[in-house]
Amino acid sequence: MSVSQTRRGVGCPSCSPSEPIVHEVLSEGGGRHTVRCTACGHVHKVSVETDKAIEQDVIISQDGDSFATTTEIPPEERIAVGDEFIVDSDAAIMLVRVTGIETGPEQRAENASVTDIRTIWTRAIDNVTVSATINPKEGTGSHESTRSFEMQLPGDHEFTVGETVSVGDEEFVIKAIQVRSDAPEYRHGKLDHDGDMVYAKDIKRVYGTDQTTSAWSAWWVYSHRLPERIVD
């Protein structure tokens, strides 16, 4: 049905302000329609109620913990795994990425209309924890002497293969970056060419070579020293 053939029953400010009269819809847009009264021909605008947003259940994962909240989403929206949006609720205001869509008991989908979704599973990405595995410089320890730690960073922090990174007391050269499975923008799951860049929110683990020589050497010597002899 074309717009010119659409009709609505609304009050006419010219001939019937308190009783609805059939009007022809001339144009639509911006939550207001331009209509013409079929009784007197008066043209005016009327406000149109839009469909109310749907309160959607959302599970947010952050640093190994999860919590449930809700957010409002327009009913015409479709949600897909990998989408990012802001959850604005009493429980949280944060940027999240969709990691799963539940449409029914034991039913998951890669994308779905909001009206068909039961729960949206997400991961917080505005502030994230990045895991790092660091090897010692050649000649300062064995490959078995690797160590791991975590860094708390903004989700849009950039890591580039080949660059030297200084975070807190740590300094290392990035050798490779393991990308998360829910990151949609990368050609491979593991990037190891100089210049390859990954955002912190997309990283599963960073691999590097330690540059804090003195700190590493002290740690390596301490961890490999022989037990002290007991002298009578």
3-state secondary structure of 81: coil
Whole-number Å distance between alpha carbons of 225 and 124: 42
Token duo for residue 221: 């010597």
DSSP state of 139: T
* pLDDT for the residue 68: 93
DSSP state of 141: S
Whole-number Å distance between alpha carbons of 104 and 125: 26
The CATH classification of domain 128-220, taken from the options 3.40.1130, 3.10.20, 1.25.40, 3.30.70: 3.10.20
Alpha carbon 160 to its chain centroid, in Å, reads 21
Beta 127-135 vs 107-109: how paired, if at all?
unpaired
Q: Where in the chain is the domain with CATH 3.10.20?
A: 128-220
Low-confidence ranges of the chain (pLDDT < 70): 1-5, 29-31, 49-52, 138-144, 213-232
Residue 146 CB partners (closer than 8 Å, separation 6+): 133, 134, 135, 136
71: exposed, middle or buried (Cβ count in 10 Å: 0-12, 13-18, 19+):
buried
* pLDDT for the residue 5: 45
Whole-number Å distance between alpha carbons of 119 and 160: 35
pTM (whole model) above 0.75: no
Whole-number Å distance between alpha carbons of 49 and 1: 20
